[in-house]
Amino acid sequence: MPVTTFDLLQHIQIAGILHANCPKKSGNTNRIWDGKTPYIFHPLWCASTIVTEQLLGEGVRKRGALTLIYHDVIEDTLGSLPSNLPRDVITAIQQMTFESQLSTWENIRRRDPEIRLFKLYDKTANLLDPLELRAFDLQDQRILVQVLIEDVKENYGNLNIVKIASSLAAV
């Protein structure tokens, strides 16, 4: 069943409600860097960026958008994923969820290329908010993004996210 713009808007609303009303940590509903920007803008940036990636097939863009809208729900909220999500999207969300930065480093290369693609959107968005990261975390994020860039270029070509990530990951 194709995902329409209306469906995506509904999913954005659901994810926004989960982040606003069900955070695992009390008060963890806004981005750290300013304490005002609702957290949903992080997954929304990721999802809207992959949707506009014309070099990717429609199926990857739709799967990616849904995965990225919900990618932090398991990690950051006490809420549950909607039961009407396609099974492959639920699996992708689970595959994007890691217990720690160290776990991400140890396991990301074992994930499917599509999961590594989605992770590049997530990590690139994190680099847009450098105040969210401590100095050593920022350097680790840049290195991970550089690794993901090379992988995504090899598997998908020189996508827009590669160009954006490359400029942000430059040391």
Spatial neighbors of 86 by CB under 8 A, at least 6 apart, are: 1, 63, 66
**Whether residue 71 has pLDDT greater than 90:** yes
Spatial neighbors of 32 by CB under 8 A, at least 6 apart, are: 129, 131, 132
Instruction: Read off the CATH number of the domain in which 100 is found.
Output: 1.10.3210.10
Rounded Cα distance between 48 and 171, Å, is 26
- For residues 20 and 33, the model is more confident at 20
Mean pLDDT for 58-71 is 96
pLDDT of the residue at 96? 93
**Whether residue 100 has pLDDT greater than 80:** no
Instruction: Provide DSSP, 17-43.
Output: HHHHH-BSSTTTTB-TTTS-SBTTHHH
Q: Cα dihedral angle (96, 106, 55, 123), rounded to 10 degrees?
A: 70
Structurally, the chain folds into a number of domains equal to 1
Q: Categorize the per-residue pLDDT at 4 as very low, low, confident or very high, splitting at 50, 70 and 90.
A: low
pLDDT of the residue at 5? 67
Q: Categorize the per-residue pLDDT at 129 as very low, low, confident or very high, splitting at 50, 70 and 90.
A: confident
- What residues make up the domain containing 35? 5-169
